[in-house]
A and B are shown apart, each in its own frame.
Chain A
Amino acid sequence: MKKLGRKNISIIIITIIALTAPYFIVSQTYLLHLLVLVFIFATLAQSWNLLAGYVGQPSLGHALFFGMGGYTLGLLTLYIEYFKNNPWPALILGGFVGALLGLAIGAMCFRLRGPYFALATLAATEVVRLIVMNSEFTLGARGIVIRLPPSISTPFFVIDFSEKLPYYYISFITMIASFYVVNILSKSRYGLLLQSIREDEDAAMTLGVNAFKLKILAMFISSFIAGVAGALYAVYVGYIDPSMDPGGVLTLFTSIEPVLISIIGGVGTIIGPLIGSIIRVVVGEYLRVSFGWRAGMDLIVFGALFMLIFFLSRKGIWGIVKTRIKFI
């Protein structure tokens, strides 16, 4: 019991620091910007982690849920008056759209064994991207500009969305919420059952585990979180488009981000995605700044690093993933 207390206290302390720190660095907009990105991508990575680490199904198309979550918010703020002035509920709606897409793919693939799920997510992302690119409804290749959310006045202060600070808090809370959800899930009966499916689906079935239903459940949560992260990204960046350049939300380059981050930070741990995201964003920025690289070139380095880590793992390639789920 003592150990549990210490862990919880340290989490609370870190949270307090994270919540108050910005006031000291509020002028460091660059740093705040990086942190927002760290939190958003940590959220995305956590959602991928749930599926890959727990269920054993690596998705190669998480950009689909991320990007369509973003497009949901974009389209809603574009066409519907209510959202023009108040885009925040669209975050949740973006999550639902992501979840819907996830359920669709899961329903089709989870009855099959093998890599079909990974391949289907890959194909689905690319196809949806093409559709979005060629459809007038989504403004095609021009992309959608998401207008600045109007300021919100509270009795004590005004929340001004042209500044980074509000986004810092929103993304931080989103990240914490997603981590919390995944943590609760992993400690629940579902967490244990999902691990059994990952270890040996057939054996689990003979023990009464309804593998399909559980995989769908995990998929729902995973793609929902990814959708929310995408919507948040869209409203933060203020622009979203279906181009194939790195930075596009529906690209495979975005799809590999959660994979990269999780591998670097440690698959199957709750804190891994945060660590991985910090490394990814910081190192990425450093490379970009010191060498003047355009977006995507840091992926060369990370891609090579990724392959190296994967390749050299002594447990065999997928062995890294199939280890015990650790919590922190």
Chain B
Amino acid sequence: MSLLETKELSKNFGGVIALNRVELKVDEGEIVGIIGPNGAGKTTLYNCITGFYKPSSGKIIFNGKDITGLPSHKICKLGIARTFQIPRPFLNLTLLENVMIGALGRGTSLNEAREHAKEIISFLMLDEYADQPVGKLNFNYRRRCELARALATNPKLLLLDETFAGLNPTEIDDMIKTVKKIYEKGIAIMLTEHIIRVVMSLAERIIVLHQGKTIAEGPPKEIANDSKVIEAYLGKKYFV
């Protein structure tokens, strides 16, 4: 049984069809990449899965449980965490406090949450910034704060929304290493990305979305050579 499964997931806004009967699966411990041109429906997909939007039709099954239409906080408690395309940290709180909130979501005591948060912060090597208000940190570290926060909720599935956007090449390499570390912990990861080399090097499997529909699915090498995908998106052959 897959960890996450969507069945005929659709979402429309007025006349605009954002998701059109999307069927996808993510297994435990997998890294799946979601790519597609802007407007393909990637963020809408995330918003549906995490309970921000109610799907217009279709189902989302997580760990065998139907989570369609559940409120966000319940979905988080069931084991799905996400980051946002533009980081949304709690600016007036410190990094440690931000991560603690993720840890608290599991219903632990304040001290336990603090310990857990410190572990995660060490894991992501952010120790020196722990007591700074996140409002003072730069974009890269806000990103990492988001990541740490999401990890603190002990997710089984982590949804990364263009986590690599806006990073310079060194930062990208660091982030790739970080994502690999998370993967090694056994957390399933779904990541949407525009930066091809990232997706190609991290994902075991890639799903391509275009205009709300999945037009291709498979291992990176296959996708790179799939003519439909190239047509819709890549523009030229990409050799891994």
Contacts and interface: CB of A to CB of B under 8 A. Distances in A.
A joins B in a complex: yes
B20 interface: no
A192 B92 contact: no
Contacts of A51: none
A208 B52 contact: no
Contact of A200 (B81, B90, B109): B90
B86 to A, nearest CB: 11
A140 to B, nearest CB: 45
Nearest to A191: B110
A327 to B, nearest CB: 14
B233 interface: no
Interface in B57-114: 71-73, 76-77, 81-82, 84, 88-93, 97, 100-102, 104-106, 109-110, 113
Listed residue (A193, A196, A202, A211) with the most chain B CB atoms within 10 angstroms of its CB: A196
Interface string A92-121: 000000000000000000000000000000
A200 to B, nearest CB: 5
A207 B149 contact: yes
Given A193-B101, A203-B84, A209-B73, A323 B109 contact: no
A205 interface: yes
Contact of B72 (A193, A200, A205, A323): A205
B150 A324 contact: no
Contacts of A193: 101, 104
Nearest to B100: A192
A323 B133 CA distance: 11
B90 A196 contact: yes
A192, A196, A207 pick with most chain B CB within 10 angstroms? A207
B44 interface: no
Nearest to A268: B92
Interface string B102-143: 101110011001000000000000000000010000000000
A203 B88 contact: yes
Contacts of B149: 207
Contacts of B150: 206-207
Contact of B91 (A188, A199, A209, A211): A199
A60 B71 CA distance: 29
A195 interface: yes
A207 B81 contact: yes
Nearest to B152: A207
Contacts of B133: 324
A271 to B, nearest CB: 19
A199 B133 CA distance: 13
A6 interface: no
B214 interface: no
Contacts of B51: 205
B104 A206 contact: no
Interface in A170-217: 188-189, 192-193, 195-196, 199-200, 202-211
A324 B101 contact: no
Interface string B174-195: 0000000000000000000000
B163 interface: no
A322 interface: yes
A208 B153 contact: yes
Interface string A308-328: 000000000000001110000
B10 interface: no
A278 to B, nearest CB: 27
B104 A192 contact: yes
Contacts of B6: none
Contact of A209 (B84, B92, B105, B152): B105
A203 B90 contact: yes
Nearest to B90: A199
A200 B88 contact: yes
Interface in A28-86: none
Contacts of A207: 73, 76, 81, 101-102, 105, 149-150, 152-153
Contact of B101 (A192, A322, A323): A192
A203 B93 CA distance: 14
Contacts of B106: 208
B101 A205 contact: no
Contacts of B90: 195-196, 199-200, 203-204
Given A196-B101, A199-B93, 6 more contacts: A193-B101, A203-B84, A206-B73, A207-B73, A207-B101, A324-B93
12 contacts: A189-B104, A192-B100, A195-B92, A195-B93, A196-B90, A202-B72, A203-B89, A206-B76, A206-B82, A210-B73, A323-B92, A324-B133
The 4 closest A-B pairs by CB, nearest first: A208-B105, A208-B76, A205-B72, A199-B90
